[in-house]
Amino acid sequence: METVLQFILGVLIVAVGVAISIGLHEVGHLVPAKLFGIKVTQYMIGFGPTVFSRRRGETEYGLKAIPLGGYVSMIGMFPPRGAGGKARANSTGFFQSMVQDARDQSQESIGDDDDRAFYRKPVWQRIIVMLGGPFMNLVLAVVFFSIVIVGFGTLQTSTTVGSVSACVLPATSDRQSCEAGDQESPGAAAGLKPGDKLVSLDGVAITSWAQSTDIIRESSGEALPLVVERDGEQVALTVTPLLTERYVTDDKGEVVKNADGSSKTQEVGFVGIGAAQELVPQPITAVLPMVGENIAGTAGIVLNLPQRLYDVAQAAFGSEERDINGPISVVGVGRVAGEIASLDSISIESKAASLLGLLGSLNIALFVINLVPLTPLDGGHVVSALWEGIRRFFAKLFGRRDPGPVDAAKLMPLTFAVVILFGGMTALLVYADIVKPVNIFG
């Protein structure tokens, strides 16, 4: 029962974090819009029927039934057809009608406030308004990651023993458990226990786990004096590394491959102990590089989204496993949060750091996705404003007539297609996160 409550708590914590992230994203649009004199009629969190709303001044603030996004409604998002003219009412065809309806609704929203319409504002102001949302997500990501790596720290290998193998198995063995007749590991034979902190090995003071590993690998068959700290006291032991087959790894800890693709092995000294990891606070200068790495990783997923979604479909409808670095839905995010909160093997500090890191990554995803240059995403509106600025710049440069605002309503068919694609993508990811969730913890 306690595990279930912890799971629910983890989901609720991330759900609140997601709601705050969405709300502040919209604040990023709202504040500059009001500062620039654009009339904002609605500030809503969620979609669908309105659950609660209150009007303050000219803006209605409220919550919708489906908390999967939000929006800020500004008047005059689209200019009328033609420079200073009115939209025609006789368009035919589905997409033509869609464009016409967008223009009509935009004109109706303006009323007597034409000078406060979005499309009337200078290009640079419109760009700031549209970038305000993603910028807020970037700020939130920096805040979350700052708390995680400066306040809590990042997991790093310590000099404390985290595990002791009971027996010796070759690296190429198919077995993962010991059987009768297997040779006892040197670590177990020496009396090492999880929680022991390495003090010295072969007379050398141990300051890092890598240092002890190097000594062990080069000392097979030699009886090495070992001092550990156990329950606040130093304990003297003797360990004799056994020559055994181990995989060769590179500086990143990845197994080196032979020319034929097989894993490369070598015979080195082996004791059979694994290091415990601990949270080590990092300097504030480590925050932005970490944020940059997350942005690059998320951008890579977005750029390869068709292939990533194909892989998700293969896993959801077939026997393939989900990629832990692949896209997931809000359902998947909630599930991961619940699993983190219900783990008994990690400390409360590690759980808190993991949940905050999850929210940081989510805000990076919102930042990157909203910059995609397709309407109705913020990046699509930015590109539209930039194109208008470029046209007007060259018209002025060559003494031509001002071409006027870009008729962004013509992009409504593209907007419709993007919404359909995003809806399909969301449905696929939600289904996959239910029937074949990402297995992060093995």
Structure tokens at 18: 């997601």
Which long-range contacts (C-beta less than 8 Å, at least 24 apart) are formed by 92-97?
Answer: 95/412, 95/413, 95/416
The candidate with the shortest Cα–Cα distance to 110, out of 70, 80, 71, is: 80
- The widest CA-to-CA distance across the chain, in whole angstroms, is 93
- 26 annotated active-site: yes
Q: Residue 11 is encoded by which pair of tokens? A: 């989901």
Exactly one of 26, 184, 229, 339 is catalytic; which is it?
26
Reduced to 3 states (helix: H, G, I; strand: E, B; else coil), residue 305 is: helix
Q: How many Cβ atoms are within 10 Å of 99's Cβ, its own excluded? A: 21
Query: Rounded CA gap, 22 and 336, in Å?
Result: 19
Q: Is 394 exposed, middle or buried (0-12, 13-18, 19+ CB in 10 A)?
A: exposed
First to last CA, the chain: 22
b/e burial code for range 359-384 (CB count within 10 A of at least 16 → b): bbbbbbbbbbbbbbebbebbbbbbbb
Q: How far is CA 27 from CA 20, 33, 116, 374, in A?
A: 10, 10, 19, 21
Say if CB 162 and CB 274 are below 8 A apart: yes
Catalytic residue IDs: 26
